[in-house]
């Protein structure tokens, strides 16, 4: 999510509420938190997000988007990011303080394709 981007054509992000300009701005604390951890771990925010999900347990399998080869490489790099127990605790504590704005993607898509 980046401020100032307008999605066009069949890009589904144009109708998913977390990508609405107001929600992107309101969700900036989440992006800032991920960037903070990314800087500390010499990783990208996406890799921190995936590493956090992977650390939750072997029964969770994230399915990240991958339209470009660069994104696939970035996503694979998340497997090399190790979050310590104290880092995970800090991340969880900070995440709990952040209110996320916008619906979940599946709710948005259900609304798009719901018959009138």
Query: Is there a domain that residue 4 lies in?
Result: no
Q: Are 101 and 87 in contact (CB under 8 A)?
A: no
35: containing domain:
28-99
Within a domain: 65: yes
94 occurs within a structural domain = yes
Is the pLDDT reported for residue 45 higher than 90?
Answer: yes
Supply 90's token pair: 């800090």
**Cα–Cα dist 116/31, whole Å:** 36
Domain assignment of residue 70, yes or no = yes
In a domain, 95, yes or no: yes
Q: Which tens digits make up the pLDDT trace of 9-36?
A: 777 777 777 778 888 899 999 999 999 9
Query: Quick count: other Cβ atoms within 10 Å of Cβ 43?
Result: 21
In a domain, 114, yes or no: no
State pTM to two decimals: 0.77
pLDDT at 80: 95
Residue 104: inside a domain: no
Tokens representing 44 are: 């990208």
Q: Is 12 helix (H, G, I), strand (E, B) or coil?
A: helix
Asked, for residue 111, whether it belongs to a domain, the answer is no
Look at the block and give the residue holding tokens 């900070």.
Answer: 94
**String of b and e for 68-105 (b: at least 16 CB within 10 Å)?**
eeeeeebbeebeebebeeebeeebeebeeeeeebbbee
Quote the number of domains for the chain: 1
pLDDT for 61-71, tens place per residue? 888 878 889 99
């Amino acid at each position: 999510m980046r401020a100032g981007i307008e999605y066009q054509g069949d890009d589904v992000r144009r109708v998913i509420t977390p990508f609405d300009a107001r929600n992107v701005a309101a969700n900036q604390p989440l992006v800032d938190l991920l960037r903070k951890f990314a800087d500390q771990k010499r990783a990208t925010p996406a890799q921190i997000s995936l590493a956090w999900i992977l650390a939750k347990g072997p029964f969770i399998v994230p399915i990240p988007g991958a339209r470009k080869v660069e994104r696939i490489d970035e996503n694979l790099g998340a497997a090399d990011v190790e979050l310590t127990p104290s880092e995970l605790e800090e991340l969880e504590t900070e995440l709990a303080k952040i209110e996320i704005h916008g619906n979940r993607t599946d709710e948005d898509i259900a609304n798009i394709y719901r018959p009138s």
